[in-house]
């Protein structure tokens, strides 16, 4: 037979579980609100400026391509190895995001992942992995050029 301490502990545990469930529901509501705000962000820009959201996103993508091209081709050879190490670090962050996309619904119980997002996540995982391993190979070759020949 359970004593009064065990009953009060059970009641406290039940109250804590209810508070946790309420907090989870509030977090889910906030996440849904954030998702809706993010989705409507491009539409809001389109509504204010009269530009189609697809065209707006495409323009940002094209500008990013040009900026990336000029940044990469203006790097001096002496800065190549340190910058390659930084891009490896950025690619490792991309790998983490791609793994989350591939896992889909296993990571978050709030939403199921579509096969398209899982496929794109897998493609991003492959490309980022190739970038990381290629970066290590190039870095090793660059560092080998600076070693003294014996």
Residue 111 burial (CB count, 10 A): 13
* pLDDT of 29 strictly over 70: yes
Question: Tens digits of per-residue pLDDT, 36-47?
Answer: 766 666 566 656
What is the percent of the chain where pLDDT is above 90?
Answer: 5
CA–CA separation, 106 vs 100, rounded Å?
9
CA nearest 141: which of 76, 80, 71, 59?
80
What is the sign, positive or negative, of the torsion defined by CA atoms of 101, 106, 110, 116?
Answer: positive
CA–CA separation, 121 vs 94, rounded Å?
10
pTM here?
Answer: 0.46
More confident: 52 or 112: 52
What would the two tokens of residue 31 be? 């996440």
pLDDT averaged over the chain? 77
Question: Tens digits of per-residue pLDDT, 73-118?
Answer: 777 776 766 777 777 778 888 888 888 888 876 666 556 778 888 8
Residues 6+ apart with CB under 8 A from 129: 95
CA–CA separation, 27 vs 40, rounded Å?
20
How confident is residue 62, by pLDDT bands cut at 50, 70 and 90? Answer: very high
């Amino acid at each position: 037979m359970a004593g009064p301490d065990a009953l009060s502990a059970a009641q406290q545990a039940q109250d804590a579980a209810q508070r946790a469930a309420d907090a989870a529901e509030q977090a889910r509501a906030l996440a849904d609100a954030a998702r809706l705000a993010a989705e409507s962000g491009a539409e809001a820009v389109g509504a204010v400026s009269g530009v189609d959201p697809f065209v707006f996103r495409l323009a940002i993508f094209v500008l990013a391509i040009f900026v990336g091209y000029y940044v990469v081709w203006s790097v001096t050879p002496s800065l190549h190895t340190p910058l390659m190490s930084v891009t490896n670090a950025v690619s490792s962050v991309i790998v983490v995001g791609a793994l989350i996309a591939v896992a889909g619904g296993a990571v978050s119980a709030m939403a199921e992942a579509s096969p398209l997002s899982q496929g794109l996540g897998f493609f991003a995982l492959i490309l980022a992995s190739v970038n990381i391993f290629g970066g290590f190979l190039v870095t090793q070759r660059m560092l080998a050029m600076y070693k003294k020949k014996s």
